[in-house]
C-alpha cells in the first residue's frame, strides 16, 4: 500500500468511535472465516455461512452507512482492490442480521477477451451499496437467496 494511503488510513483511525472498533473486529472475524472457508466449502455453503437470521430490526441509515464505510476502508487496507466477493459477503452478513432483505449476486462479463466476475448485493431488485448497477455490465449467474 502506498505511504500516502497508509497515512490517510492512520488519520481516519483517530476518528474511530468505540462502536467502530467493535464493528471492525466483527468484520475482521468474518474475513478470517472467509479466508479459511473459501478453500473448503462450495460457494452455496460459503454464502450460507455468512447468512444471518435477523436479530434486530433495521438499523438507522447512519449506522448502515458507517458499516459500509468501515468495511470498504478495511478491505482497501488489506487487499487494495478487487475485493467485491469479501465486501459482498461481509455486508450480506450485517444487513441480513439487521433484517434487510438483501440478496447476493454473482455475475460475469468479458473484458478485453478475458472473463471477469463481480459480486454485489441488491434489495428488492435495486443495487445495494453500489455506485452503479452491476447488472448493466455483468450477466448474473447465481443469486442467493433465490
Mean pLDDT of the chain, nearest integer = 89
The ranges assigned to domains in the chain are 3-144
Pairwise CA distance, residues 84 & 106, whole Å: 10
Query: Taking residues 20-37, what's their average pLDDT?
Result: 94
Query: Taking residues 30-42, what's their average pLDDT?
Result: 96
Question: 60 pLDDT exceeds 80?
Answer: yes
Question: 10 pLDDT exceeds 60?
Answer: no
Pairwise CA distance, residues 137 & 108, whole Å: 8
Pairwise CA distance, residues 44 & 140, whole Å: 15
Amino acid at each position: 500500500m502506498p505511504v500516502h494511503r497508509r497515512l490517510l488510513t492512520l488519520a481516519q483511525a483517530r476518528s474511530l468511535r468505540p462502536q467502530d472498533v467493535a464493528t471492525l473486529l466483527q468484520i475482521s472475524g468474518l474475513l478470517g472465516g472467509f479466508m479459511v472457508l473459501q478453500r473448503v466449502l462450495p460457494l452455496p455453503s460459503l454464502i450460507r455461512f455468512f447468512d444471518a437470521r435477523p436479530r434486530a430490526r433495521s438499523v438507522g441509515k447512519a449506522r448502515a452507512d458507517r458499516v459500509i464505510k468501515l468495511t470498504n476502508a478495511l478491505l482497501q487496507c488489506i487487499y487494495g482492490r478487487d475485493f467485491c466477493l469479501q465486501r459482498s459477503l461481509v455486508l450480506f452478513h450485517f444487513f441480513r442480521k439487521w433484517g434487510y432483505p438483501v440478496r447476493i449476486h454473482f455475475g460475469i462479463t468479458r473484458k478485453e477477451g478475458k472473463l471477469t466476475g463481480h459480486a454485489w448485493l441488491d434489495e428488492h431488485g435495486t443495487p445495494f451499496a453500489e455506485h452503479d448497477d452491476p447488472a448493466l455490465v455483468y450477466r448474473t449467474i447465481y443469486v442467493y437467496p433465490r
